[in-house]
Structure 1
């Protein structure tokens, strides 16, 4: 079934809040509005001040409304992968219909049966993804509705997360005057949206480098198998530059963007630039190599932590290699550094939508695209999680009949103005025997 309608994605990041309005015509995405506002009230990817976060959301939404010429009523909001857990689930019911024809109600009931499990009080189920159904022993069915059967089974994945994070995000969206149409796990949306079918099947690692945290996700056998979150990101690189060069945070951010490189071997000690130092009236000269070494130290630390986590599950043996994305991945030389540390092929993902060709927009575009891909079976299973009535039609986005609500004035800084270059992908033909049964023990 072709995707159609209007969808709005909301990505609440540490450095900026982004909103994308996309219209789908014959399954073709057309982005008609974008909002990008400086974040407030968010630290390391977690909301710490609800009121400030609400104002940031309102500013981004207002900007997207003005560009798209629509009034936004509901959004699909991304959830971080902090303390996310993935578990397999299985449920079985007897078909109660006298005709034995499987109905929507039967799908909801078997999804409820699959969620019967003990969950700690501080956690809640975020999403339930049906993988396949079995009808009277016949396996591999994606949508059993309309079929005849006596026994219906469902196999799927259950995602659970901390109640605090989920509640705070929903609270901020609702206080901003919006309806939460979907809560989308950002790591899941990323892996589903930016990977090819082969990369999903044979196994690929996606590293999302945000401003406040870095999320590592592993997709294998077309399932999100593993996530790891490190509470370090691009802001920590900027802070290091600020401390070492004794300059303000804003100056350090500008130096990182204009002169920074994560791979010192690509820089020169002869190329210098002025730096305004606190306590001095005249700028001092700093060479590119020195700045690059400061940046490299922090980025390498981030990559080492990700590598340690991936080594524990032998994920670096996967043939798909690593895909980098996120705002902090815009740094020149970061792909070269990643290849040295991880010892596998690494490439940078850049969205191809006109005007949004920067990794900083990958998350919000993935949220929109993932929401548009959700089918009726997912929405029926969602009833088992929320207990709410689900409308499987596209989100309600109406054309502005009157002037859109007016929020406070604001300015949006172009955080990563230069479009990163696509790196060359290294061919890695090495596929070990470990891949065949990779992750076979994760869901034991």
Structure 2
């Protein structure tokens, strides 16, 4: 499928909101604009004040617009792993005409059958991910279109999330004057971006060290198997420094970035000045002492995560741990993770110009996930869309060749009705002034029967 076009990824973090504008051409991504602004109305990765968050989102989008020299109307947003649930699902439909080839609508209908699920009232479906299709008992099929049969089945996974988190995310984006093209499960997108094929296959842990929380995700057999969110992150390290050294939070954050190490043994005994509250003259503090404060908190965070990962046997996987996120910028973090987790660890830093910092990994992953979605993944997520527009209407242009063309777009100057902005809709890329996001509805859902077969 040709996913060429311009995509805008939105990563809402605890301390900063990041917006990346990228152009996909024949599978190659070219970043053309980046915006990063301080967060407001966000606590531990979750929007808690819609009004404040919408203003911060708007500022970040405007910053990206200036750098990319385009107007941004629609975004793809990531949703954090907080209280996400991953469940296996199975769907089956009968094909009315055994001589007719299986097409787009059949894939949508079997995905819809699989996503029919009794959910707790506080949860809603975020993503449906097909793992395999079965045609008349023949399994292991990734794309059944073009085949013939009388029975089509799908095994997959259903990811659900808290309604409050999803509602606040959508409302803040809409209030910022933007359309929401897709909601991407952040740890799922991150795994696809920072892990190579072998790491996704044999099993690897991704560790996103954010400011407000730290998220561990287990990827095995190319599926998202498990997530755990530790409700502490880099902000807690900064607070510890502020309390121990009796300095402001801004000063604490600054000296953490300039002089801090994740492992105190790697720090020097060189001293640097610290502005202390209540004193006229700065106080000299050594890098080693500062790093001891940092290491104590980081060790606590990592130990809590390790206990949860041990419960599902994740630390036995050969891929080890791949670390990213703003907290991963601390020198020595790989050494500390290897010591605590007792497995191999490595750091992921994006290599795109202007994004060479682990804090941008998540925003980049959201873009990468959206730009690389397959036809079947798009069709499966289409089944989740409400009946504002019927499946036949959605696919009416694709009936002839049975290949979805989700790249239809409207002119950038045409703003969508307010009632349509919350639901993913096709948008248009005017090459000079608009942001085109592919008309897709969501990404695939990873299936699992067991944690680790």
Unaligned runs of 5+ in 1: 403-438
Superposed CA deviations along residues 22-42 of structure 1, whole A, max 9, x for unmatched, are 101121110001000110111
TM-score, normalised relative to structure 2: 0.87
Q: In structure 2, what is the equivalent of residue 283 of structure 1?
A: 282
Q: In structure 2, what is the equivalent of residue 101 of structure 1?
A: 101
Distance 1:396 1:231, change over 3 A: farther
Count the aligned residue pairs. 407
Matched ranges for 1:8-87 at <5 A: 8-87=8-87
Unaligned runs of 5+ in 2: 395-404, 409-426, 435-447
Matched ranges for 1:414-433 at <5 A: none
Residues 72 and 398 in structure 1, CA contact (< 8 A), matched pair in contact too: no
- Mean CA deviation greater in 361-370 or 329-338: 329-338
Counterparts of 1:358 and 1:248 in 2: how far apart (Å)? 25
Q: Which runs of 4+ in 1 moved over 4 A?
A: 388-391, 399-402
Q: In structure 1, what is the equivalent of residue 310 of structure 2?
A: 311
Matched ranges for 1:18-417 at <5 A: 18-97=18-97, 99-269=99-269, 271-387=270-386, 389=389, 392-393=406-407, 396-399=428-431
Superposed CA deviations along residues 118-146 of structure 1, whole A, max 9, x for unmatched, are 10000011000111111111222222122
Q: Give secondary structure in 1 for the equivalent of 2:208.
A: strand
Counterparts of 1:440 and 1:114 in 2: how far apart (Å)? 14
Counterparts of 1:323 and 1:31 in 2: how far apart (Å)? 23
Counterparts of 1:65 and 1:168 in 2: how far apart (Å)? 24
Distance 1:401 1:326, change over 3 A: closer
Q: Give secondary structure in 2 for the equivalent of 1:252.
A: helix
Q: Give secondary structure in 2 for the equivalent of 1:398.
A: coil
Residues 11 and 77 in structure 1, CA contact (< 8 A), matched pair in contact too: yes
Q: Once the 2 structures are TM-superposed, how far is the Cα of residue 46 of structure 1 from its aligned partner?
A: 1.2
Residues 98 and 148 in structure 2, CA contact (< 8 A), matched pair in contact too: no
Q: Once the 2 structures are TM-superposed, how far is the Cα of residue 218 of structure 1 from its aligned partner?
A: 0.3
Q: Once the 2 structures are TM-superposed, how far is the Cα of residue 100 of structure 1 from its aligned partner?
A: 3.0
Q: Once the 2 structures are TM-superposed, how far is the Cα of residue 241 of structure 1 from its aligned partner?
A: 0.3
Residues 203 and 320 in structure 1, CA contact (< 8 A), matched pair in contact too: yes
Residues 98 and 150 in structure 2, CA contact (< 8 A), matched pair in contact too: no
Q: Once the 2 structures are TM-superposed, how far is the Cα of residue 5 of structure 1 from its aligned partner?
A: 1.1
Residues 104 and 145 in structure 1, CA contact (< 8 A), matched pair in contact too: yes
Residues 19 and 64 in structure 2, CA contact (< 8 A), matched pair in contact too: yes
Counterparts of 2:46 and 2:383 in 1: how far apart (Å)? 27
Q: Give secondary structure in 1 for the equivalent of 2:303.
A: helix
Residues 349 and 356 in structure 2, CA contact (< 8 A), matched pair in contact too: yes
Counterparts of 2:161 and 2:452 in 1: how far apart (Å)? 17
Q: Once the 2 structures are TM-superposed, how far is the Cα of residue 107 of structure 1 from its aligned partner?
A: 1.2
Counterparts of 2:8 and 2:140 in 1: how far apart (Å)? 32
Counterparts of 1:298 and 1:31 in 2: how far apart (Å)? 35
Q: Once the 2 structures are TM-superposed, how far is the Cα of residue 387 of structure 1 from its aligned partner?
A: 2.4
Q: Once the 2 structures are TM-superposed, how far is the Cα of residue 400 of structure 1 from its aligned partner?
A: 5.6
Q: Once the 2 structures are TM-superposed, how far is the Cα of residue 115 of structure 1 from its aligned partner?
A: 1.7
Q: Once the 2 structures are TM-superposed, how far is the Cα of residue 401 of structure 1 from its aligned partner?
A: 5.3
Superposed CA deviations along residues 222-275 of structure 1, whole A, max 9, x for unmatched, are 100000001111111111100110000000011101111111111233x10111
Q: Give secondary structure in 2 for the equivalent of 1:23.
A: strand
Counterparts of 2:286 and 2:451 in 1: how far apart (Å)? 48
- Mean CA deviation greater in 146-155 or 246-255: 146-155
Superposed CA RMSD in Å reads 1.7
Q: Once the 2 structures are TM-superposed, how far is the Cα of residue 2 of structure 1 from its aligned partner?
A: 4.5
Counterparts of 1:401 and 1:88 in 2: how far apart (Å)? 42
